[in-house]
């Protein structure tokens, strides 16, 4: 069976079984967030992580990227470390660990004080199958834009003061964004649509990753799509998507979220500029 028949659909099922129907290398990019330990009670999921990771490796194209957004539960006073174990497993099966990024929450849930600092971030592991094929970097303004560094003296770690041999250029207006990304969680109107799902990630997070690691017309897979955030944003950015979700209830939320989008025609790289 070819992947074409699943394009721009939310498929109800176990992602392991559904992905087996896809041909090898059919997917340009995966953006997903798995169930975190037993932190939340999703509707009766099964989660054979290692089999799912191997299947993801099979369906992703050479040069494709997988963004895995994950956090750990704290059990009996210790963080489980599941996120790291998963990251190392992805490496074992052939992915490169391209970047360990941080999803910092501007409005983290306050926690009961248990002799530790409030948890306010999750990991966003970026894996690549071989060399990353697409990177459209997000840019930010430089704090010291335009500053002339001419003639500045500086000290490095040698004992003596040193003069720059070459004149430095003025500081650029913009630079590539760093790998800690901050978002407000659950408050924006576009995120409110996901109400009814216990753990959606922000649309803005999906937008930033999909823009960064794919091009228009590409096929984006979310194998555990929950409320359909990845799918909705992918389509808004002129990409195609496939969403898989095991819970019927969450599938309905996802389908409702994408119902206002024009989905009939799968987009190709040449049909969109
Ligand atoms: C952290 S949530 C994803 C939330 C999603 N990123 C969003 O924005 O709504 C993880 C989802 O994985 C689903 N799930 C768990 N095991 C699954 C499986 N084997 N196949 C498909 N979906 C699964 C759960 O029902 C849950 O909705």
Query: How far is residue 257's CA from residue 251's CA, in Å, rounded to a whole number?
Result: 10
Residues of the chain with pLDDT under 50: none
Cα(225) to centroid(ligand 1), Å:
5
In the chain, where the domains are located: 3-137+177-258, 139-176
**What per-residue confidence (pLDDT) applies to 45?**
65
Distance of CA 238 to the CA centre of its chain: 17
Helices (H), the chain: 15-19, 49-59, 82-92, 189-192, 203-213, 229-236, 248-258
- In this prediction, residue 67 carries a pLDDT of 99
Using CA atoms, how far apart are residues 59 and 219, in angstroms rounded to an integer? 11
- pTM to 2 decimal places: 0.91
Q: Is the CB of 226 under 6 A from ligand 1?
A: yes
CB burial class (10 A; 0-12, 13-18, 19+) of residue 201? buried
CB under 8 Å to 49, separation ≥6 — which residues? 34, 86, 89
Dist. CA 244 → ligand 1 center (Å): 8
Q: Which CATH class is domain 3-137+177-258?
A: alpha beta
**CA distance readout (Å), 208 to 103, 138, 186, 199:** 11, 8, 17, 18
Tokens representing 221?
Answer: 């897979």
Q: Which residue has the tokens 């003069």?
A: 163
Atom of ligand 1 nearest to the CA of 194: 9
Residue nearest to atom 7 of ligand 1 (CA): 200
Tokens coding 74: 């704290």
Cα distance between residue 102 and residue 121, in whole Å: 6
CA of 242 to the centre of ligand 1 (A): 13
Measured CA to CA, the distance from residue 186 to residue 162 in angstroms comes to 51
Distance between terminal CA atoms of the chain? 29
Ligand 1 atom showing the smallest separation from residue 247 Cα: 25
Ligand 1 centroid–CA 217 distance in Å is 25
């Amino acid at each position: 069976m070819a992947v074409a028949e699943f394009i721009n659909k939310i498929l109800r099922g176990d992602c392991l079984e559904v992905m087996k129907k896809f041909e090898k290398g059919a997917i340009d990019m995966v953006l997903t967030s798995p169930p975190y330990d037993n932190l939340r009670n999703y509707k009766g999921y099964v989660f054979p992580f290692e089999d799912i990771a191997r299947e993801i490796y099979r369906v992703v194209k050479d040069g494709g990227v997988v963004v895995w957004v994950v956090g750990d539960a704290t059990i009996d006073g210790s963080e489980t470390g599941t996120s790291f174990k998963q990251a190392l497993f992805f490496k074992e099966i052939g992915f490169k660990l391209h970047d360990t990024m941080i999803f910092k929450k501007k409005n983290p849930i306050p926690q009961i004080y248990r002799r530790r600092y409030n948890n306010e971030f999750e990991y966003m592991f970026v894996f690549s199958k071989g060399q990353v094929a697409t990177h459209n970097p997000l840019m930010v303004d430089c704090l010291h834009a335009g500053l002339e560094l001419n003639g500045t003296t500086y000290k490095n770690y040698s004992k003596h003061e040193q003069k720059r041999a070459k004149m430095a250029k003025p500081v650029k207006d913009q630079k590539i964004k760093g790998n800690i990304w901050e978002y407000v969680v659950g408050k924006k109107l576009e995120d409110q649509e996901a109400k009814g799902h216990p753990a959606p990630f922000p649309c803005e997070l999906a937008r930033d990753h999909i823009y960064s690691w794919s091009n228009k017309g590409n096929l984006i897979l979310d194998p555990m799509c929950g409320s359909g955030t990845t799918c909705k944003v992918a389509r808004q950015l002129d990409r195609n998507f496939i969403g898989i979700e095991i819970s019927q209830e969450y599938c309905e939320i996802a389908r409702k979220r994408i119902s206002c989008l024009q989905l009939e025609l799968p987009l190709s790289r040449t049909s969109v500029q």
